[in-house]
Structure 1
Amino acid sequence: MSWTDERIDSLKRLWGDGLSASQIASQLGGVSRNAVIGKVHRLKLESRIKPPVETLKREALLEGAAMQAVAAAEVAPPAPPPLPRLVVSTPAPAAPAPLPRFVAPAIEMPEPDGSALGAVAEVQASAGVVEAAPATRNLTLIQLSERTCKWPLGDPLSDEFRFCGNHSRDASPYCAYHARLAFQPASERRRVR
């Protein structure tokens, strides 16, 4: 397809009328949108800067709102004055009473007799006081949830293997008792070594 003088005149006329490059290409036939844009640039035709769509929408909305306000003022009777409002205040709810905390009784532990104790038992024995372990719920893996203690009980390879299952704190995987066993201060760990 070649650009003849009459096709160029048609392009200039259609461009001046405000048609898009796609519309011009379809009217001329046998030419693509990109070919039209290229020819417009080579001919140095005046570019058409479009205002952003948001500006056009905002202007249309403002004009429409102004027209509606004028129409509403002509048609609508004046609005009655607002009625007085009754304000009722309610007392703030009382804070719930804190729940009592369970504290296991301390048990005096005799000195180790030389048998093989775990590191935790040795640390606790050296302190002289050991906290009693709470009763466990003995849950299976399937029964565990976000809020249950995941402290393992027994041999993982045996059929009797279970987890503690007591209620765990906030984001901790263990109940309060097992959390103290699992997360010992560094000074306690050094004493065991």
Structure 2
Amino acid sequence: MEAGLSWTDERVALLRRLWEDGQSASKIAAQLGGVTRNAVIGKVHRLGLGGRVKGAEVDAASAVKPAEVEKPVAAAPIPELVVAETHRPAPEFPTAAVPARPAATEAAAIPVSQRVTIMDLRESMCRWPLGDPTTPEFRFCGARSITGLPYCTHHAEIAYQPAAERKRDRRAAGFR
């Protein structure tokens, strides 16, 4: 809408009449001048004007003749959905079961000299967090990581467990 034009009472009355007559928003905008189709739609919405008059006449030029109506086309078959995996599969580890270590022994198993802060962490280092992130003593494992994975062998065994083993661990902890 141009800066000089506004919705005066006369323009709103004309908008109401044209809308109730069944005119399209584009035609109303053209007749009002200086407003867009979207401006007309917005004003109709703000005025709360409902649907059109049921028996609104259609211009003879825009009417579709029965011979021009296209026959419905059979819908194309819907292709089968392909689900992309968004995670890496668990790496293969030796089949020997590794007993779970308590958290206290786990921290002691990693030498303090190998632990690193976020500033010292490199791509080839294990990113397993150790401790409380809100304390100054918080560090990452820092051991050599498995190529393509964020963790060292020890922490990868903890992070990537087969589904059956996870279910068994949950049942042992009292979850269903």
TM class by shorter chain equals 0.3 to 0.5
- With a CA cutoff of 8 Å and minimum separation of 6, indicate the structure with the bigger relative contact order: 2
TM-score normalised to the size of structure 2? 0.35
Asked which structure has the greater CA Rg, the reply is 1
